Structure 1
Amino acid sequence: MPELSLTFDLLVAALVGMAVGVEREWSGHSAGPDGRFAGARTFALLGTIGGFAGWFVRLGYPALATVIAAGGVLLPIVAYWATMRRPGTTTDGTTEVAAVMVVALGLTAGLGLRTPASAAGAIIVVLLAEKSRLQQALQRIDANEMRAALLFAVLALVILPVLPSGSYGPYEAFRPRQLWTVVLMFSALNFVGYITRRLIGETRGLGVTGLVGGFVSSTAVALGFSRRSRDEPQLALPLALGTVAACTVLIPRLLVVTAVLRPSLAWALLPVLGPVLIAGLVIIGLALWRERDTRPHRRGAHHAVGAVPAKNGNGPNPLGLTSSLQMAVAFQVVLFALAWIEQNAGQTGVIASATVLGLTDMDALTLSMTRFATDPAQVRTAAAAIGVGVLANTSLKATLVLAIGGPRYRLRAATGLAVLAVGSAIGLLIGWPR
């Protein structure tokens, strides 16, 4: 029924306007010496004006719709001009801009697009209501983080679109756009890890610190915590927990990367990496339950892995762009090597290369396997190669722990890593290609 549909369109247009108007009245912007021109009723009427304009567009009267919408938009513009002429009025056009948006959203609803209009209206109300929290969040952003965000925007919106998407070079293994996507993905992961470390800090526990640090480099966490265990033997248990946590979080990171780049490989990885992930979660859960009162000491906090510098704007790049570029270069080298191995050595050569590469760079191995798994027949082989790499990587960390760590730390961390290695071996038995 057209009449019923129109009724709902106009109702949504009016309700969107009323929601914005209620927020303006609730926050005190429609009263007082700085009071603006509109409250709940006026905003509801502005939304209805936009709704009728959209309806007239659907009826084939665009000129009439333009006049109606223009009248609705002109009202807040004139009101802003009049308000700014009052002596002592604070310069703020948020209410007037919101009124123009209400007319636009009413027009959207009038065109029959009720869901987008409602969703956008809800977002606008949240933005208006959370003004103070948004301002507080902006004040916490330092110059270093702002530069990183702007740089990432340039990398993603300027450089990526102009790169060619084809395949070039030996074995057609060089793909510039895909390679740059790798840089963006790991820069984003580094940025998330940086922000999370800054929000959580070391005061929430070395286990959490290791967990977050594992998103960037679990090997670096194992190395750093092993060294620290010699200086602060009383922190042996939380340092060991942080090491196991960093090695555990590597698994979901690999699953996320493969799910984004090659979903079929991610499904094949579940039985291979599932046992080691479960083993890690069980270890972390038991350790947190047994030592739930353990907290890191303030002394020596500067030794934290991945500690975030003060807000002076002169710290390291939160994007970790240098490491991301190094990752992309390693990824490309591995792609050429694997293409050659696949052509000349077959499955055995791929597994052997995964063992060596897993000792040094799990991310490059995983990314290269997403390319190797382009052929559906090679998906299980690629999953097994990643599993072998995880086992080799865990063995390397266990070696670091035993060689560098303090006595009490060695016992606990090596035991946890041994359990992870057993989980890796079980996963390989389950998912080995046959």
Structure 2
Amino acid sequence: MLDLSLAFDLLVAALVGLAVGVQREWTGHTDGPDGRFAGARTFALLGIIGGFAGWLVRLGYPALATVIAAGGVLMPIVAYWATMRRPGTTTDGTTEVVAVLVVALGLTAGLGVRTPAAAVGVITVVLLAEKTRLQQALQRVDAAEMRAALLFAVLALVVLPVLPDTGYGPYEAFRPRQLWMVVLIFSALNFAGYITRRLIGETRGLAVTGLIGGFVSSTAVTLNFSRRSREEPALALPLALGVVAACTVLIPRLLVVTTMLRPPLALALLPVLSPVFLAGLLLIGFVLWRERDTRPAGTPATEPHAEPHAAPHLATPTASDPRPANGLGHNPLGLTSSLQMAVAFQLVLFALAWIQQNAGASGLIASATVLGLTDMDALTLSMTRYAASPNAVPMAAVAVGVGVLSNTALKCGLVLAIGEARYRRHAAGGLAMLAVGSAAGLALGWPR
């Protein structure tokens, strides 16, 4: 009787090889003076060889399977050796390496593990097809970015696994592994913001600059843009829009952190934070729609970095400026700020553990109000710990919502105290709308 499971295993093995072979043949790697040994048919057959080897392992013939798989692997090795002996051949072993991988993927499929084999096969074809774009992307990576990526790999793959996951200190609130996860999460967010700024650039408008800056610190964006409004009153509306964008992007940032650390809390935060996020999106969309025709055709958009009085973090680097020419700084990971965040998080954990033991829910809301004025990230992270018990999740969500409202009030105070008159009207009005959305979210999410 036909074994349909085996038939599907061998089919996946053959298709993986065929897909790789078609890509190699389509891009011309089988022709010309540098032509390699295998095309679509050969790769499909290599996949089938691996598939049968995996099937023989399942039947209890590992020795025979080893001989068959070794033959499939040996063929591209010999072909590479023969190809490199030809005069004038360019050194390139991609096709041969992929042929060995196809045998391995066919073996994996033959063992019955079809989905991973198919997934890796698709990824392999994409990597082969996107060779030019990958090379172009690597040419744009500078030394600071490469060091940051390698450092992050060490922090995540070497340091994190060796840290203990048990509690120490008062109330057992000090957990080294969880604290290091905080460092990794915010380093990753900083790096993502850095790369985004590299791709988009800081010259595409103050709204985009504020939006990206909000991934790092919406309060810092508000402070810098408020100062700049006094030096460049003509940019009042774009600067105000940048502040609203920075405050709006704070919401998905908080949801990303809570989803990674405490998914139930992220779910409870949706009704609390959705109104303020929607208010920000609607306000940004309305202003962009209203101002779509205000700039004459052919007039260049405002270049934030080209202004003579640009805020420090937006200014164009000079010969005496130690920053790179891209103006994004030497530290893509923002490791120092991430470590500072972890220290603040730990201090807040000790304080919240004491509040939980002695003050109850009222003390929690009071502390969220105060902490939200200065550090929404530390508040959010501490609430992920507080929400370890399902019964504590609703109050933790409310505390985050209270912190957002408190933080919005602080930014409004900065705008009114520092900003230029026209900028104050626009920015304070936008922040007031966000505050209304925040209050509506608290009304929806308050435990009853």
Q: CA deviation at 1:356?
A: 0.9
2:418 aligned with 1:404, yes or no? yes
Distance 1:173 1:356 in 2: 21
- Counterpart of 1:298 in structure 2 is 303
Cα distance in structure 2, aligned partners of 1:326 and 1:299: 29
Q: 2:263: which partner in 1?
A: 263
2:216 counterpart of 1:216: yes
In 2, the alpha carbon distance for the partners of 1:421 and 1:349 equals 22
Q: Deviations over 1:390-415 (max 9, x none)?
A: 11110111111111112211110000
Q: Which runs of 5+ in 2 are unaligned?
A: 317-322
Aligned partner of residue 203 in structure 2, secondary structure: helix
Which residues in structure 2 correspond to 1:232-311 (within 5 Å)? 232-293=232-293, 296-298=301-303, 300-301=305-306, 303=310, 307=314, 310=324
> In 1, are the aligned partners of 2:49 and 2:103 still within 8 Å (CA)?
yes
Superposed displacement of residue 299, structure 1: 6.2
Q: Does 1:181 align with 2:147?
A: no
User: Contact 1:207–1:239 (CA<8 Å) still a contact in 2?
Assistant: yes
| Counterpart Cα distance in 1 of 2:250 and 2:428 | 17
Percent identity over the alignment?
79
Q: TM-score, with normalisation over the residues of structure 2?
A: 0.93
Give runs of aligned pairs for residues 92-171 of structure 1, distance below 5 A.
Answer: 92-171=92-171
Native 8 Å contact 1:202 1:296 kept in 2 = no
Answer whether contact 1:359 1:393 (CA < 8 A) is retained.
yes
* Mapped partners of 1:306, 1:292: distance in 2: 27
Residue equivalent to 2:320:
none
Is 1:4 the counterpart of 2:4 in the alignment? yes
CA distance in structure 1 between the aligned counterparts of 2:118 and 2:283, rounded to whole angstroms? 46
Residue type at the aligned position of 2:406: A
Describe the shift of the 1:313–1:65 C-alpha distance in structure 2 as closer, same or farther (beyond 3 A): farther
Deviation at 1:345, TM superposition (A): 1.6
Aligned to 1:168, the other structure's residue is in SS state: coil
Of the structure 1 ranges 238-247 and 51-60, higher mean CA displacement relative to structure 2 is found in: 51-60
Residue 35 of structure 2: SS of its match in structure 1?
coil
Q: Distance in 2 between matches of 1:84 and 1:326?
A: 54
User: Are positions 1:391 and 2:405 aligned together?
Assistant: yes
Q: In 1, are the aligned partners of 2:203 and 2:304 still within 8 Å (CA)? A: no
C-alpha separation between the residues in 2 aligned to 1:191 and 1:160? Answer: 18
Structure 1 or 2: more helix by fraction: 1
Q: Which amino acid aligns with 1:349?
A: G
> How big is the shift at 1:305?
7.4
C-alpha RMSD of matched pairs (Å):
1.8
After TM superposition, give the deviation of residue 300 of structure 1 in Å: 4.2
Task: Determine the structure 1 residue equivalent to 2:350.
Answer: 336
Check whether the contact 2:48–2:106 (CA below 8 A) recurs between aligned residues.
yes
Task: Supply the distance in 1 between the matched residues of 2:271 and 2:96 (Cα, whole angstroms).
Answer: 56
| 1:44 has 2:58 as partner | no
CA distance in 2, matches of 1:312, 1:266: 35
Asked if the contact 1:209–1:305 (Cα under 8 Å) also holds between the matched residues in 2, the reply is: no
Q: Which moved more, 1:96-105 or 1:312-321?
A: 312-321
Q: In the aligned structure 1, how far is the partner of 2:75 from the partner of 2:32? A: 20
SS in 2 for 1:204: coil
**2:435 partner amino acid:** A
The 1:253–1:51 alpha-carbon spacing in structure 2 relative to 1, beyond 3 Å, is: same
Residues 296 and 169 (structure 1 numbering): CA distance in 2 closer, same or farther, change over 3 Å? farther
- How far apart in 1 are the matches of 2:7 and 2:404? 60
Shift, 1:229, TM fit: 1.4
Provide the C-alpha distance between the structure 1 equivalents of 2:59 and 2:389, rounded to a whole number of angstroms.
53
CA distance in 1, matches of 2:215, 2:356: 30
Q: Distance between the aligned counterparts of 1:382 and 1:4, measured in 2? A: 52
- Tell whether the 8 Å contact from 1:188 to 1:319 is kept in structure 2 after alignment: yes
CA deviation vs aligned residue, 1:36-64 (integer Å, no higher than 9, x gap): 11111111111111112112112211111
Partner Cα separation in structure 2 for residue 252 and residue 313 of structure 1: 26
User: Structure 1 68/306 Cα, relative in aligned 2: closer, same or farther at 3 Å?
Assistant: farther
Aligned to 1:358: 372
8 A Cα contact 1:394 1:417, kept in partner: yes
For residues 139-196 of structure 1, what are the alpha-carbon distances to aligned partners after superposition, in whole Å with 9 as ceiling and x for unaligned?
Answer: 1111000000011011111111111100110011111110000010010000001111
Q: Which amino acid aligns with 1:413?
A: A
Given that residues 205 and 302 in structure 2 are in contact (C-alpha distance below 8 angstroms), is that contact kept between their aligned partners in structure 1?
Answer: no
Scaled by the length of structure 1, the TM-score of the pair is 0.96
What SS class does the counterpart of residue 215 from structure 2 fall into? Answer: helix
Q: Provide the aligned length of Structure 1 versus Structure 2.
A: 434
SS of 1:166's equivalent in the other structure is coil
Indicate the larger mover: 294-303 or 8-17: 294-303
Structure 1, unpaired ranges of 5+: none
Which letter does structure 2 place at the counterpart of 1:106? Answer: G
C-alpha distance in structure 1 between counterparts of 2:358 and 2:247, whole Å = 33
Q: Indicate conservation of the 8 Å contact 2:344/2:378, yes or no.
A: yes
The equivalent residue for 2:230 is 230
CA shift for structure 1 position 218: 0.2
Q: What SS does the corresponding residue of 2:331 show, helix, strand or coil?
A: coil
The alpha-carbon deviation at position 375 of structure 1 amounts to: 2.4
Which of 319, 336, 340 aligns to 1:326? It is 340
